[in-house]
Structure 1
Amino acid sequence: MIFSAGQRIVFVGDSITDCGRRGRATPYGDGYVNLVRAMVTATHPELGLTWVNRGTSGDTVRNLAARWEEDVIAERPDWLVVKIGINDVWRFFLDQPDRGVPIREYESTLRDLLSRAVKATGCRLILVEPYLIEPDRGDPQRAQTDDYVRVVQDLAVEFDAVHVPTQAAFDRVLTSTPAGQWADDRIHPNLPGHAVIAQALLAAIGWRLPT
């Protein structure tokens, strides 16, 4: 596994990362962040890792930019987990085009934020794809989401980051189950849906059950 003793892992993103971390499920939320924390801690308690959730519901990259210094750089992460992009696309399909983020702005803003974090803290990056829990790749929102997924894939290569293929993880389960089994709105996962994300992240960081 990629984490070392005493490291600080900071998660930042939107509601999928937030998941009640500022209210009902303080401080980690009750989604994929807490699932990953629980599994890694249970198998590697000797590492003494520190876990920080700075997800905020509704965020796009524009919102991340506004709070980047306080919620990311000031946290001094050793590893920074970034999962952003769902709202950047979704706003266009909620008749809120002024709040949607065009793909070139999304790419340039995210690149700038990642560069600032690495330069300021020396952190390593884990980039988690946005997704849509929708098997029809011809669906307009799914097609646009796939474009943003490719941006994250390219940035992962550019920054030598760990890449978490979230969309592919959902695509695998959708071959045998309907989208509604994982989320009511194709966006906000139930607990099994969060487990799909957590499994993808755990695999990407090299986590394994002890033998």
Structure 2
Amino acid sequence: MVGGDTTEQARRRFAADVLQLKPRYVVIMIGINNTWALDTFLPSDRLTPQEIYQQVTSDVEAMVHAALEQGIQPVLCSLLPTCMDRYARNHERNQLVITINERFQAIAEQTDCLYVDYHSRMTDADGNTLRKELADDGLHPHVLGYQLMATVLRDTLSAHDIALGTPS
């Protein structure tokens, strides 16, 4: 993963970054950076939530299918909520994240791949916004956020009888 990547950039690199290496599993957790197209400075660069949804879900679905075709098990992760009040469209972003996550979960069910639901464990009581104690900037988890994410990942893998340990 490269910081600031969108799904389009990750999809273009997927063959070189993942498929040629033939890992047993690939964790796919990408899409939040696409949502910055809601807030771009120039109105001509802005995308609608529906355009972003289509972009993210089609790119991720293509990566899932490419992995499966190569015998690689995808682990598809939900996008995280945000808590960035300084952005006027933060509520709209969080609603878009929920919609994208619903599609990710459907993709996982349709392709029989693992889905890791970080979102539901990281939201405030509203079910929409990132809990303030999990990130200093409202976007990137800090140690408490990552500890919670590790727990969610371990629980999900364990529920699917996937043992964590050192590679053989």
Q: What is the CA distance between 1:156 and its match in structure 2? A: 0.8
Higher helix share: 2
Matched, 1:125 2:77: no
Pair 180,97 (structure 1): closer, same or farther in 2 beyond 3 Å: same
Gaps of 5+ in 2: 84-89, 164-168
Question: Counterpart in 2 of 1:72?
Answer: 18
Provide the TM-score with structure 2 as the length reference.
0.77
Gaps of 5+ in 1: 1-54
1:159 maps to amino acid: T
Matched, 1:149 2:101: yes
Match of 1:183 among 131, 135, 141: 135
Among all aligned residue pairs of Structure 1 and Structure 2, give the percentage whose two residues are the same amino acid.
20
Question: Counterpart in 2 of 1:97?
Answer: 46
What secondary structure does 2:115 align onto?
strand
Q: Any idea what the Cα deviations from partners look like across 1:132-191, whole Å, max 9, x if unmatched? A: 144xxx9222111111111111111111111111110102xx34xx83321123211111
Task: Report the Cα distance in structure 1 between the residues aligned to 2:64 and 2:27, rounded to whole angstroms.
Answer: 10
Q: What is the CA distance between 1:94 and its match in structure 2? A: 4.4
| Equivalent residues, number | 146
Question: Counterpart in 2 of 1:7?
Answer: none
Q: Is the 8 A contact 1:128 1:165 kept in 2?
A: yes
Q: Any idea what the Cα deviations from partners look like across 1:2-52, whole Å, max 9, x if unmatched? A: xxxxxxxxxxxxxxxxxxxxxxxxxxxxxxxxxxxxxxxxxxxxxxxxxxx
Higher strand share: 1
What secondary structure does 1:59 align onto?
coil
Q: Which has the higher contact order (CA 8 A, sep 6+)?
A: 1
Give the aligned CA root-mean-square deviation in angstroms.
Answer: 2.4
What secondary structure does 1:127 align onto?
strand
After the TM superposition, which segments of 4 or more aligned residues of structure 1 sit over 3 Å from their partners?
none
Question: Counterpart in 1 of 2:156?
Answer: 204
Pair 57,75 (structure 1): closer, same or farther in 2 beyond 3 Å: same
